[in-house]
Amino acid sequence: MLGFPAFTGHEEPGRQGHSDAATRASVESALHAAGDIEAGEITVSISGSYLILEGFVRRRSDLERAVEIAESVVGRGYVRSRLLRR
């Protein structure tokens, strides 16, 4: 865990009541703060209750780590990955 606690205790699942901009900013910050992946080519967006990760990573482990980081912010099951390996 990176020290970015999951948002809890809010009424909407997935985004847990936070604005799209705040949710995106939290995930982007967590991705860029992680020293073990390159997040420069990852785009974060929101579609309904889901957070979408799109872009490119170098290794499969980076893809899995990006999803793990995003889930640590928005909650397990609310992240959809469209990341591709180069």
Tell me the pLDDT of the chain (86 aa) as tens digits.
Answer: 444 444 444 444 454 556 899 999 999 999 999 989 988 899 999 999 999 999 999 999 999 999 999 999 999 999 999 999 98
Pairing of strands 79-85, 50-57: parallel
- In angstroms, the CA 15 to CA 34 distance is 21
Residue whose structure tokens are 């990955």? 81
| Among 49, 55, 45, CA closest to 84 | 55
**pTM for the model:** 0.77
Residue 2: CB atoms within 10 A of its CB come to: 14
